[in-house]
Amino acid sequence: MVEITPVRSPRDLDEFLRLPWSLYRDDSNWVPPLLAGERKTLDPARNPFWRHAEAEHFLARREGRVAGRLSAIVNRAHNDYHREKTGFFGWFESDPAPDIAPALFSSAEAWLRDRGMDRVLGPANPSTNDPSGLLVDGFEWPPFPLMNHNPRHYAAFVEAAGYRKAMDLYAYLILHTDVEREKIDRIAKRVRDSARVTLRTVDLRRFEAELALIMEIYNDAWEKNWGFVPMTTDEIRFAADDLKSIVLPELVYFAEVGGEPAGFALALPNINVALKKCNGSLWPLGWFHFLKFRLRRIPTIRVVALGIKKKFQSLGIGTLFYQRYFNQHMERGYVAAEMSWILESNEAMNRPLQMMGGKRYKTYRMYEKALR
């Protein structure tokens, strides 16, 4: 018999966080998250997301053994922005037994109904501004930073609980040997000739000012995207504080048109090659692995964000960002880059990536279910 209980004690939370270690012990592609980071994300006292959201975290037990977990989330910022009554699910994990997932989803949905929600969307950990989507294709590859990974059978569990596809999120991989440099350079020259576009790297000495600029561009550029929710200044700062130690200035660019901020692009070294060896903690030996895989020696990167303000989106500025990243491939010996995630409906991003030699190699799926 499956017993579903909410997380109430420090021990419950510890079991919630550590469950993946038993479920993924035979999955060579799984990358253990840093437990301290997971605790920080879930902590209402430290994560500003929870100022406009609430959650209930559930554990599934069989004969006293933890066999699954799931979070039910109400994000008031999402519902205010979209004028919806949508709840979210996140942090879904389950052992292979088919009766675990239905029990977890039933408890989460009841909690969301009690709070007036009429729809569920997910997975989002805890929002669409965070790691989102269930991996449904590309299981043979390990994840890049801030991307999800899960077993193949999770999709069947979610769909058996009555969920259907809401939107697919694509991840592209581009190898340095596949880059169509002639096309990129030709288009980039055309963009430079037709508009007064300049690029600069981030200035970490002006950290607060640069964060404000990123928030301005982000909330303008993504405003019309599916699932978008504006980020607050504190949320931007919270995310940036976690990334500050791994950001390389030569991988963060701003575009300006006639001196006006027009867009930004952010890429990160693939620190998962080090995190995999840390096994969830930087202590006592975790820092050794970070030092061993010094950031500039990691041969792969992930382009995490690339946004252009709406008034400049017709200028082709994105090509200038990609050209700069491909120049970094040449200069620093990067062998591959992941571009993720891209909405399946975003042809303005999908077409250029395919044109440049990118291969869609992973698909993540957002699911939805009506509650009423």
Average pLDDT over residues 68-93: 98
Instruction: Express each pLDDT in 205-242 by its tens digit.
Output: 999 999 999 999 999 999 989 999 999 999 999 999 88
Instruction: Express each pLDDT in 161-186 by its tens digit.
Output: 999 999 999 999 999 888 888 888 99
User: Residue 251 is encoded by which pair of tokens?
Assistant: 């991988």
Q: What domains can be seen in the chain, in order of their start residue?
A: 2-168 (3.40.630.30), 174-364 (3.40.630.30)
- Token match 């989803």: residue? 105
For residue 19, pLDDT beyond 70: yes
pLDDT at res. 301 = 96
> Which of 41-50, 286-295, 339-348, 357-366 is predicted least confidently?
286-295
Average pLDDT over residues 3-23: 98
pLDDT at res. 160 = 97
Residue 283: pLDDT band with limits 50, 70, 90: confident
Those residues with Cβ within 8 angstroms of residue 64's Cβ, 6 or more apart along the chain or in another chain: none
Average pLDDT over residues 277-294: 78
Average pLDDT over residues 51-77: 97
Average pLDDT over residues 113-137: 98
Instruction: Express each pLDDT in 260-278 by its tens digit.
Output: 999 999 999 999 999 998 9
pLDDT at res. 324 = 93
Which range is most confident: 42-46, 296-300, 330-334?
A: 42-46
Q: Which residues pair with 62 in a beta bridge?
A: 2, 65
Could you give the percent of the chain with pLDDT greater than 70? 99
Instruction: Express each pLDDT in 250-259 by its tens digit.
Output: 999 999 998 8
pLDDT at res. 182 = 87
Residue 306: pLDDT band with limits 50, 70, 90: very high
User: Residue 12 is encoded by which pair of tokens?
Assistant: 């419950």
**Mean pLDDT, the chain, integer:** 94
Find out whether 63 and 123 touch, Cβ atoms under 8 Å. Answer: no
pLDDT at res. 291 = 67
For residue 285, pLDDT beyond 90: no
Average pLDDT over residues 147-152: 98
For residue 294, pLDDT beyond 90: no
For residue 327, pLDDT beyond 90: no
297 or 45: which carries more pLDDT confidence?
45
